[in-house]
Structure 1
């Protein structure tokens, strides 16, 4: 029976196409009545990877028709030698109080623009409940199956950007139903237990709102600044106003580098049609003393390339120039606070 279990465990693939038997993760197998206990030893396993292992092992053993009652225990082995030695010069968060304003699209294209300017760039998708970055870069789950090694996660590189997202560890469309403390723990692991290497910039795509996720990130991650995204719609600016208030709270203060007006207008017969209202973000920036970084029109090309999983700045010159100017403004503001 033990051989059948080992055979089942060989179907659980992890790093470099190795299974958990070959990798030495399985330390002990106990058979107690109708119960199977499998002890694994990992170095600082991230919670979502631990959960995936339990699921994969359980599924593999059940497929062998060995037992219906399975108990799996994972022993966590602490190994100080596996701590990352990442050196990140500038961590910038892209935020908005309102969802659906194109924050992830902007974070994606700013990251790729920075790469094209010659910088080493990472992108951390902190939007746990609605991760969009995997779609923006056309990264499938199967491409990240072997990115976890020696207790440290290795980001996936796409278009020159090092990327990590909770979307890599969940099926497309699968709901992630987690409480705040669990989310915070995962994001902490993404930040501190990932081999980011040497980066000039790490862009953090924040979820919308002003909840405990934001507070935890602001208190734990040494952010250099915040880039805010909004449309000119009054309801969007109302939510953004609350976000600005949060970032300016004395105990968690983070400099706001500026605000971007997204989907600012549509070109109709060579005339600008301001679908969400004209100059709403510009007026808001003056009122709140926030630098206006630039405006991005509502272009069909942006939507098309985003759906294809290709950053639009790589394919469309008009959009490339817009993002280049905005990115230069961000860098200039960053230099002004350092």
Structure 2
């Protein structure tokens, strides 16, 4: 049963409650839900999810991460909680809390051996994702970040139909082939009438260790053309370096370089999201 009072999208939703496919746990109060998506794997989607969540947390927001990448969950390792397990208290499932006070739910936090494969059909995977949203006691959150699996399959569709997303952040790299695949994901989001907050361009450049000059590995014109053609907002570009590729709690907390990289991206993300919500409010009052 839909619960409009606890739905993050209630203010911008035109659906009748009887026709809504979203179920909300009345014990949860989540202000905004943001999906992080990519057209393909290997572009840094989960790492970006973790670092966006950490940046939001450092700004003072209450943050959770729902790991919807059921068959390839990496969020527990990125948040430094892979040695912990989620607890059931009085029949209610509670998320694990990281050292920096980010609430986390992932399939790897429910199984004994994280190296064992998840050999499930699509329906079971989709149901698990829905239960991570409806059955987990997230409590009060300013932001719930959903790390979505790559591609445009069942789980991505389930998230968009069953969870009230306020918007999607797309992760890409500046290559023609990747841009073509990401375009499919962008078009899927648009067909589902969900707002795209913007694009984070990963592996965009390398920094010269001597002069600090940005060296573009790929043709930057292709990237600009892709953004213009899809009418997308660039939230920021990330370099190709070992600090991002090997991110962990220890490295992140001791290295301010990652803060410098992700703070502008998160600020742009919040500004873009506020703009989207303000435009919806103006339209609703006309």
What TM-score do the two structures reach when normalised by structure 1?
0.70
Aligned to 1:282: 224
**Structure of greater Rg:** 1
Residue 329 (1) aligns with residue 268 (2): yes
The match for 1:310 among 249, 264, 275 is: 249
Structure-to-structure mapping, 1:212-231, within 5 angstroms: 212-231=154-173
Distance in 2 of aligned mates of 1:104 and 1:277: 25
For structure 1, the 5+ residue unaligned runs are: 1-82
Distance in 1 of aligned mates of 2:215 and 2:63: 35
Aligned to 2:141: 199
The match for 2:259 among 320, 324, 330 is: 320
Alpha-carbon offset, residue 313 of structure 1:
4.5
The match for 1:296 among 238, 241, 264 is: 238
Aligned to 1:4: none
Contact 1:210/1:242 (8 A) holds in 2: yes
SS of the residue corresponding to residue 268 of structure 2 reads helix
SS of the residue corresponding to residue 207 of structure 2 reads strand
Alpha-carbon offset, residue 103 of structure 1:
0.5
Distance of aligned partners of 1:232 and 1:192 in 2 relative to their CA distance in 1, 3 Å threshold: same
Distance of aligned partners of 1:319 and 1:219 in 2 relative to their CA distance in 1, 3 Å threshold: same
Residue 242 (1) aligns with residue 189 (2): no
Residue 261 (1) aligns with residue 201 (2): yes
SS of the residue corresponding to residue 61 of structure 2 reads coil
Distance in 2 of aligned mates of 1:258 and 1:155: 28
Distance in 2 of aligned mates of 1:114 and 1:222: 20
Considering only aligned residues, what root-mean-square deviation do their CA atoms show, in Å?
1.6
Per-residue CA deviation, residues 197-219 of structure 1 (Å, 9 max, x unaligned), is: 01010000000000111111100
Contact 1:96/1:240 (8 A) holds in 2: yes
| Count of equivalent residues | 249
Distance in 2 of aligned mates of 1:311 and 1:214: 31
Distance of aligned partners of 1:132 and 1:166 in 2 relative to their CA distance in 1, 3 Å threshold: same
Distance of aligned partners of 1:172 and 1:277 in 2 relative to their CA distance in 1, 3 Å threshold: farther
Aligned to 1:88: 30
Distance in 1 of aligned mates of 2:194 and 2:77: 29
Kindly report structure 1 stretches of 4+ aligned residues shifted beyond 6 Å: none
Aligned to 2:104: 163
Alpha-carbon offset, residue 312 of structure 1:
5.2
Contact 2:65/2:105 (8 A) holds in 1: yes
Higher relative contact order (CA 8 A, sep 6+): 2
Alpha-carbon offset, residue 128 of structure 1:
0.7
Contact 1:102/1:262 (8 A) holds in 2: yes
